[in-house]
Amino acid sequence: MRFLHTADLHLGAVPDIGKPWSSQRAAAVQSSLPRLLQAAEERQVDLILIAGDLFHRQPLRRELKELNYRFSKLSRARVVLIAGNHDYISESSPYQDYPWAENVTFLSSPSLASAYFADLETEVHGLSYHRPEIREPLLNGVKAPSDGRIHILLAHGGDAQHIPFRPSGFAGAGFRYVALGHIHQPQVFQEIPAAYPGSPEPLDRTDTGPRGYIVGEITQKKTRLDWVPLSTVQYADLKVQTDESFTTAKILDTIRPILKQHPQFLYRLCLAGPRDPEITFDRDLLEAAGQIVEIQDRTEPAFDLEALSRDHANDLIGYYIRSLSADLDDPIRRKALYYGLLALHSAENR
Ligand SMILES: [Mn+2]
């Protein structure tokens, strides 16, 4: 029995709002579903498991209709899905009574239910969210019957507000696979076996690294799992170590070859190190290089405290340095010292 497992597609999400590439990112999130279905088609899997948060928010009826049409065109795969905390089944949700195609099973019950596929000798268990938070550990101690069938569990959550459980808690519970959802970072627990596939497209600048889905095969003896990349872009950190020679243009010269080499990457630019006290880096110019989602400027003005203190032994600057330089490991004191010195400096220059 072969399957494709995905979760947390968050259809309808718009990443990087305000950036020039935001609409492109939104389109990539939207197209992750047809791309996953195409992968399922090419691999001719038997089951597609969707472990919650298919939609970013409450889906509209027409969205379910589009989705259902795509599902209905699959030549082989059957689809099993549950609702997560984002697309939970509210009282007015079209999920309530949607007439799904024959090959689609929506495990919509708020308590554990299952669907059996006789030709695959496989039973898939799961429950759906009917509210955005479930603090009860609803899946603790759940066990698969030992009846010779292949049992699979769909489980969305794993933190305090969303059905607290630990993947390791499912070890020895008799499931041949636990298809997890909710955590956007992909994680495979081969020994259980279980996996969070992660969202197929990164949804946020903190979703660093590649994104994709899980394909698996369950044979009499074992469950084989593979994580397959799918995402069109990748968020990554880009650290630039500065020294006193750095200007905005020098930073641009440093990062441009890297941006060019990885056009599919979007970066959080982190500047760290000393800088010329007279220089402040121009964020607008840096962002204009493109592919920069965020700038963290952790550079510190390179004051020569000893020399300054010596040259200003009898004035305010010297007094200020001496009073604040006692504990420079404290980042707040250090900041206060630097900001104060910058202010005193500019006052002196005037
Ligand atoms: Mn979730």
Q: Which two tokens stand for residue 237?
A: 């950190």
Distance (angstroms) between ligand 1 centre and the Cα of 161 equals: 10
* Share above pLDDT 70 across residues of the chain, in percent, rounded to a whole number: 99
How far does the centroid of ligand 1 lie from the alpha carbon of residue 224, in Å?
25
Q: How far, in Å, is the centroid of ligand 1 from the Cα of 313?
A: 60
CA of 331 to the centre of ligand 1 (A): 36
Domain boundary among 197, 229, 261: 229
* pLDDT tens digits along 217-259: 999 889 999 999 999 999 999 999 999 999 999 999 999 999 9
Who wins on pLDDT, 347 or 106?
A: 106
What CATH number is associated with residue 135?
A: 3.60.21.10
Q: Compute, in angstroms, the gap from residue 9 CA to the centroid of ligand 1.
A: 10
Give yes or no: residues 87 and 167 share one domain. Answer: yes
350 band by pLDDT with thresholds 50, 70 and 90: low
The protein residues having their C-beta less than 5 angstroms from ligand 1 (an ion) are: 53, 84-85, 182
Q: Do 222 and 243 fall within a single domain?
A: no
21 and 133 part of one domain: yes
Question: How many A from CA of 127 to the centre of ligand 1?
Answer: 13
229, 259, 282 - which closes a domain? 229
Distance 23 CA to ligand 1 centre (A): 23
Q: What is the pLDDT of residues 8-47, one digit of tens each?
A: 999 999 999 999 999 999 999 999 999 999 999 999 999 9
**Same domain membership, residue 332 and residue 204:** no
pLDDT of residue 343: 84
Say if residue 349's pLDDT is above 70.
no
Number of domains comprising the chain = 2
> How close is the Cα of 183 to the center of ligand 1, in Å?
7
298 C-alpha to center of ligand 1: Å?
33
Ligand 1 mean position to 8 CA, how many Å? Answer: 6
CA of 326 to the centre of ligand 1 (A): 48
Domain identity same for 42 and 83: yes
pLDDT tops 70 at residue 100? yes
> Is 80 exceeded by the pLDDT of residue 64?
yes
Q: What is the mean pLDDT of the chain?
A: 94
Cα distances from 35 to residues 6, 27, 30, 44, 228, in angstroms, run 12, 12, 10, 14, 12
Count of alpha carbons within 13 angstroms of residue 38, beta-carbon side: 6
- What is the Å distance from ligand 1's center to 81 Cα? 14
Whether 190 and 279 share a structural domain: no
Examine the domain organization and report whether 244 and 223 are in the same domain: no
Which H/E stretch holds residue 43?
helix 22-43
Q: What is the DSSP string of 156-205?
A: E--BTTB----GGGGTTSS-SEEEEES-SS-EEETTTTEEE---SS--ST
Instruction: State whether 154 and 285 are in the same domain.
Output: no
Give residue 108 CA to ligand 1 midpoint distance, Å: 16
Distance, CA 178 to ligand 1 centroid (Å)?
Answer: 16
In the reported structure, the alpha carbon of residue 84 is separated from the centroid of ligand 1 by a whole-number distance in angstroms of 5
d(CA 300, CA 106): 55
For residues 55 and 194, membership in a common domain is answered with yes
Residue 53: pLDDT band (50, 70, 90) is very high
Residue-wise pLDDT tens digits, 258-276: 999 999 999 999 999 999 9
Distance from the CA of 121 to the center of ligand 1, in angstroms? 29
Judge whether 185 and 212 are in contact, CB under 8 Å.
no
**Residue 97 vs residues 49, 50, 83, 92: alpha-carbon distances, Å:** 20, 19, 13, 10
Ligand 1 centroid, distance to 206 Cα (angstroms): 16
Residue 345 has pLDDT above 80, yes or no: no
Structure pTM?
A: 0.87
State in Å: Cα 129 to ligand 1 middle: 10
Residue 308 predicted with pLDDT over 90: no
Could you tell me the distance, in angstroms and rounded to a whole number, from the CA of residue 83 to the centre of ligand 1? 9
Same domain, 242 and 337: yes
159 and 273 both lie in a single domain:
no
Query: Over the stretch 70-87, which tens digit does the pLDDT of each residue have?
Result: 999 999 999 999 999 999
39 and 113, same domain (yes or no): yes
The residues, any chain, with a CB within 8 Å of residue 284's CB and separated by 6 or more, are none
What is the CA(216)–ligand 1 centre distance, in A? 22
Identify the domain boundary among 182, 200, 229.
229
Residue 307 sits in which domain range?
A: 234-349
Summarised one tens digit per residue, pLDDT across range 181-196 is 999 999 999 999 999 9
